[in-house]
Structure 1
Amino acid sequence: MRRLYWSKAEHAKQFRYGLLALDAISIGWIVYASFLPLSAMVMAVDVMLGLGLLAEFTARTAATKRPLRQLLRPLELADLVAIVSLLLAPLLHGALGFLRVLRTLRLLHSVRLITSLRSDLPFFRRNEEATLAAAQLGVFIFIMTGLVFETQHRINPNIGNYADALYFTVTALTTTGFGDIVLHGASGRLLTVVIMLAGVTLFLRLAQTLFRPSKVRFTCPSCGLQRHEPDAVHCKACGIQLKILDQGLV
């Protein structure tokens, strides 16, 4: 199992692509289920999906050298909380319905998987910082959309599904504020403020990354400078000769 999760062998990469597909299915179901009335079938799919993700989580934890330390990492705890929220689907209605939003934390696992496959994705290697910034913004939008949906769809007739919640989240993040959908209550107003402040910060970070001159990451063995021009032969900070690997492309 350790080789499947961490090896660079072809079969291990295929296994991790399979995990990405599993994450995509789980996230797709989260969105699709918001359009469905709560029923025994929906809860049964939640539980079955949760059992599959729990099996993967258990195997991944057991494959590490120190399972307990791995389990206590923030990303692992977030993943576990997301899985538990699926397994407790029969209880997550009424007063506990808000906890369903925790399953959106599964996106953090997807981003980490993509990062681990960077050597197999040329586009990711060339645009690593921009891709990660876009992924962080996407995760934020999705989690905020989940919060808006779970806190508002029972009390706000304008928030009926994830599409409505996503529409409001994006208009708040961009500070457009059309006004056709507003969140009810003091908690709704505070959530709107969080979306505007944190979202705009992430959006600006993405824009800054996109328009920043293209550079490559390579740690200078002398001074430690990590960002260099793509065709750099010497470090611009200390002048030492660099040996940056490239594919010989002009």
Structure 2
Amino acid sequence: MQARSSRLGRLRVQLRRLFYGHRPVAITFQAGLLAIDLAAIAYFVATTFVADATWLRVVDLLLGVLLALEFLGRMLAHRHPMAYLDNGAALVDLVVIASLFVSALGVNLGFLRILRTVRLLRSYNVLGQLKRRFAAVRQNEEVIHAALNLAVFVFMISALVYVSQREINPKIEDYIDALYFTMATLSTTGFGDVTLMGSTSGELLSILMMLVGITLFLRLAQAVFRPGGKVLFPCPQCGLQRHELDAVHCKACGHVLNIPNENE
């Protein structure tokens, strides 16, 4: 019993070095995990537009096994394995892994594929890793982060529309229909050819999208297409990070900033 406990302890130490270490082997291992994360997110987004097929279930099973092994490894590498489950990202991963195994059996594949879009929330962790590794990501962090916020917001709202309307609305048969309605509503285009059904749920969701969704969508879109609104320049007096590009004084403490021009 003691020998088994000792082997498990050594395994946990090795996993901790791989997941969180800074040696070349650990860095290579972490880069591989990053590639898996990027591929999984791309796969989940792409397959929301694809009809059911046998090859999808095979890929789902293989990806489910791979992500389950990664999850188990992270859990064992944590100093307090059970406390790892308190992490919101861990719960998202569990939902995604469960959806992969269930969908591999052919059960309600369309809904489960939409459910996997919650994996997009993992994109923020991926962005943090990319920022540490690539200078280009650090230089364009604001635009990339704004674009990520916009993509996550649109896909999650579209998933909510699809899940709530797919069984009662003949005009929302797949995720593309839900995405079309979401973009038409959030961009205030409002063609009117697709409307939400349901005397209470549909109306409440429509009100929520109009009151909250449109405002957030426009602000997120503005952050992507007009990223130059403020410049990152920490105030040496109070530490305020962002100021107007032509600011002379810090708006918080009044300290002279001397923000350099781009060509300086």
So what's the TM-score if we normalise by structure 2?
Answer: 0.71
Contact 1:16 1:113 in 2 (8 A): no
Structure 2 match to 1:197? 211
1:98-129 CA-to-partner distances (Å, cap 9, x unmatched) read: 55533111111122111232133334323333
The code of the aligned residue for 1:171 comes to A
Higher mean alpha-carbon deviation, 55-64 vs 138-147, is at 55-64
Q: In the alignment, which of 193, 206, 215 is matched to residue 231 of structure 2?
A: 215
Specify whether residues 24 and 127 from structure 1 end up closer, same or farther in structure 2 by C-alpha distance, changes over 3 A only: closer
Specify whether residues 137 and 173 from structure 1 end up closer, same or farther in structure 2 by C-alpha distance, changes over 3 A only: same
Whole-angstrom CA distance in 1 between matches of 2:59 and 2:254: 59
Whole-angstrom CA distance in 1 between matches of 2:130 and 2:90: 18
Q: In the alignment, which of 164, 168, 181 is matched to residue 168 of structure 1?
A: 181
User: Cα offset for 1:193?
Assistant: 3.0
Whole-angstrom CA distance in 2 between matches of 1:86 and 1:219: 48
Whole-angstrom CA distance in 2 between matches of 1:249 and 1:6: 39
1:116 counterpart = 2:129 = yes
Higher mean alpha-carbon deviation, 101-110 vs 63-72, is at 63-72
Structure 2 match to 1:46? 60
Output aligned runs, 1:121-136, within 5 Å: 121-136=134-149
Specify whether residues 142 and 16 from structure 1 end up closer, same or farther in structure 2 by C-alpha distance, changes over 3 A only: farther
1:26 counterpart = 2:40 = yes
Contact 2:75 2:84 in 1 (8 A): yes
The alignment-based identity, stated in percent, is 41
The code of the aligned residue for 1:119 comes to R
1:157 counterpart = 2:177 = no
1:190-225 CA-to-partner distances (Å, cap 9, x unmatched) read: 3333333333233243325735534226474x6333
Structure 2 match to 1:224? 239
User: Cα offset for 1:170?
Assistant: 0.8
User: Cα offset for 1:67?
Assistant: 3.1
Contact 1:156 1:184 in 2 (8 A): yes
Contact 2:234 2:241 in 1 (8 A): yes
Structure 2 match to 1:69? 83
Whole-angstrom CA distance in 2 between matches of 1:8 and 1:130: 29
Whole-angstrom CA distance in 2 between matches of 1:69 and 1:249: 49
Specify whether residues 73 and 155 from structure 1 end up closer, same or farther in structure 2 by C-alpha distance, changes over 3 A only: same
1:79 counterpart = 2:93 = yes
Higher mean alpha-carbon deviation, 85-94 vs 7-16, is at 7-16
Whole-angstrom CA distance in 1 between matches of 2:227 and 2:59: 43
1:143 counterpart = 2:156 = yes
Contact 1:168 1:181 in 2 (8 A): yes
Contact 1:92 1:100 in 2 (8 A): no
> What value does the CA root-mean-square deviation take over the aligned residues?
3.8
